[in-house]
Structure 1
Amino acid sequence: MPIQRQHTNQRMSQIIVHNGTVYLAGQVGENLSAGIEQQTRETLVAIEQLLLEAGTDKSHLLSVTIYLKDIDADFSGMNTVWDQWLPHGLAPARATVQAKLCEPEILVEMTVVAALPK
């Protein structure tokens, strides 16, 4: 089965589709001056758009890794938005870690693995 790459540059692809699985590169919000709730909302919008482009949606999430700049300050606010966004009963496997992100204004980044619907 071929590997499909979308939105590819020299460094990375935003979407990889292989063998019925969709992999998304790390996604962040657009307004990096916003707080954790708004950055989380924007990140989830970006994820939804890429999943749709790949032929799937958030109901097919398999795994999400969430990177927070400050887990003590932002875990609760991020989870408030996450819990509202996630369809009931369809929680993916998930890990949340604190990380030094590539720009100091980024408060949250998420990587996603999802299944393609059959």
Structure 2
Amino acid sequence: MIQRFDVGPRLSEMAVHNGTAYLAGQVPNDASLDIRGQTREVLAAIDALLARAGTDKSKILMTQIFLTDLADFEGMNEVWDAWVTPGHTPPRATVQARLARPGWRIEVVVTAAC
């Protein structure tokens, strides 16, 4: 069985199947924030979705981070390092990419065990 969360016409925010949660790319609500603020918003959204699936950031299996400018790498990592659970840091890829909306500096995709 597949359980979908916040199903829309184009995508679902999360799908859970066989004990694994697959999150859609999470983006900031406030595009006027700097990279630290946008990263905090995105990570808070991830926390909320994972909680709805009955899991948390300590069970993240893989993370993909998309930044519009690699100059933001240090600021994003500052927030990321304070957020991740010590001893449970997941495998991660970070790449530069053009995102769908101007002002978005970061998008994060997470897969986690439930």
Aligned to 2:96: 98
Post-superposition Cα deviations, 1:1-57, rounded to whole Å, max 9, x if no partner, equal x11111011111101000010000000121110100000000000000000011100
Summarize deviations over 1:29-87 as a string: whole Å, max 9, x none: 2111010000000000000000001110001000000000001x100000000000001
Query: 5+ unaligned residues in a row in structure 1: which ranges?
Result: none
After the TM superposition, which parts of structure 1 deviate over 3 Å for at least 4 consecutive aligned residues? none
2:35 pairs with 1:36: yes
- Structure 2: stretches of 5+ with no match in the other structure: none
CA distance in 2, matches of 1:109, 1:84: 18
Tell me how many residue pairs correspond in the alignment: 114
Per the alignment, residue 56 of structure 2 pairs with: 57
Q: Residue 79 of structure 1: which of 56, 77, 92 is its match?
A: 77
Q: Alignment partner of 1:27: what SS? A: coil
- The root-mean-square deviation of aligned C-alpha atoms, in Å, is 0.6
Kindly state the Cα deviation for residue 104 of structure 1 after the two structures are TM-superposed.
1.4
